Structure 1
Amino acid sequence: MLNMPAMPREHGGMQPHALQVFRAVAEHGSITAAARTLRYTQSAVSRQIAALEAETGAILFDRLPRGVALTEQGRCLLGHAEAVLDRLDAARRDLAALRELTAGRLRVGAFPTAVAALVPRALATFRSAHPGVALSLVEGLTPGLLERLLAGDADVAVLSAASDQPLDDERFDLHHLVDEVLLVAVPRTHRLAHRRTVRLRELADDAFIAGSADAEKTLLRATLPADFRPRIDIVAAEWTGKLGCVAAGLGVALIPALAVRAAPPDLALLRLHPDDASVRRVFAATVAGRSRPPAVHRFLDHLDTAAAGLGLPDHPSGSGVTPGNTN
């Protein structure tokens, strides 16, 4: 005797399985043939049809000497049943595509210097591996990126934080990617350009080029001692402008190691003495308590690989750094 699988127990309403049984009986014109196809007993299929007729208050099939035939009410229900079952099949396919990364989306936010190399490398390898996933990237500062995460406008954000200004690890899940030092960019003609490391006091007479006239709002405050007050003569928001001004001899600037590839070759990049330098920590953040989509899980792997391949200088006491090369 064949072992028939048990028919799922259903509790009220026109459940999908009941509609599937109904469609099979309609297609075969026979309860016996439908039961054979579904691998249920004939009595189980008959009970399912009877329960569906009781639920709808309609006679769905005329019982004939040989098989069954849809009534007018049965034909009406069949169109709806096929639409419901087709939509459920489509939903299963769409969910499988998200799980298998053959479809879906990935919305990434990143702070400016992470867009110089780290995030584009990770996005490029991710797109190569999963071309069906739609990618988007928004550049912004860390506070704004955190707001985008909380608002649901980004799936993951690459952020930076000074060691003495940690990110909120209660509201955000933080995946550590890399630590980066800040370098000093000077023109090749600068009196200290031949040096490997410098002390801040040696730059006391130099004009600094920063993103704000207020040192408290720039990278300067993330690394400089409280008693060091830089003179900011030129404010340039973008890295191309900052480094262009440095190359022209208008001042010096702090540059994160992640942005080294954006530096023109006519600059010298010097490391700060360990007593003066601090480290910025770089994380990939998602909102705590929210499920990470499969695309985010996979993208974190690509970020890890990209971060490891950057070869960032990990300590300010080593040799100087050549612009355009962090290896």
Structure 2
Amino acid sequence: MRVDLFDFDLPPESIALRPARPRDAARMLVVNSEAAFEDRQVRDLPSCLRAGDVLVFNDTRVIPAQLEGMRGEARVGATLHKRIDLRRWQAFVRNAKRLRQGDRVSFPAEVTAIAEQRLPDGSWVLAFEGDEPVELLLERAGRMPLPPYIAGKRDTDEADATDYQTMFAREKGAVAAPTAALHFTPELVDALAATGIAQETLTLHVGAGTFLPVKADDTAEHQMHAEFGRIDAATADRLNAARAAGGRLIAVGTTSLRLLESATGEDGIIRPFEGDTSIFITPGCRFRAIDGLMTNFHLPKSTLFMLVSALMGLERMQAVYRHAIQGGYRFYSYGDSSLLIP
């Protein structure tokens, strides 16, 4: 499909620079395939679902993956986006033209890395020196990697260390938050449980590639970035059992959806999964694992807007986004939510 079909005009003032407080006070647009839209709040979620449904969360934890350093006299910025092994990470590098294979880059707090290899997509493999776990080095030298549409408008501050982390965050490795789950609070989770709505977690380490623009003119020409994910056997069994009993699986965020669909066979059975996924979901896709999606509002011409258009239909999502923009919904990572039930 032509990428320009997924374009729309978004006023700059629609982009949220801070989250709603409390988190579950964010607005939520409820959409199904036919009925009129419902303007609700995230805290209304228990009344929008039914007993037996299962919300599937991503428990990845954002690491301070943004680094500012020096290669000699040249300033270099690095955003880690995918672990290769214990000491090596793939990174997008700012001012990369100043970098050569074998160069040592010095970051704050005596953290250093060797520029080991430039990859075909323009990113670099950075090999961190020393014996300390890289996660500890990043705690000393890195900062929270806010999305470019926020970081370009204000500085990262102390509030972002908690604001840009979900209450489910446990497994370190993401460089972007699974933002649909930012809206959840312990009080909301308790209310959902009291209504008979279950929750499960999986892990998909979101990479900085999620912010890369689609440069191709046709979706068939776009190369999706790879991200590491894991679903254990016990979780897969519970999800399959819930669905067999008539419950609906509602992915909380596009990351949960992409991993569930990657782990599900043509027979609709979710299987244990551990490895990379580069699944690219566009209109025409037949969903095998999920029955609904809770997600924020996405960028024009992004792979995520293509994904929600695949779930609900392009014309339906164009109407949804027109309603959201006209109604003052807040967009992107710190913005409002939508509940999509096809």
Structure with greater Cα Rg: 1
What TM-score do the two structures reach when normalised by structure 2?
0.21
| Larger relative contact order (CA 8 Å, sep ≥ 6) | 2
What TM-score do the two structures reach when normalised by structure 1?
0.22
Query: Which structure carries more helix by proportion?
Result: 1
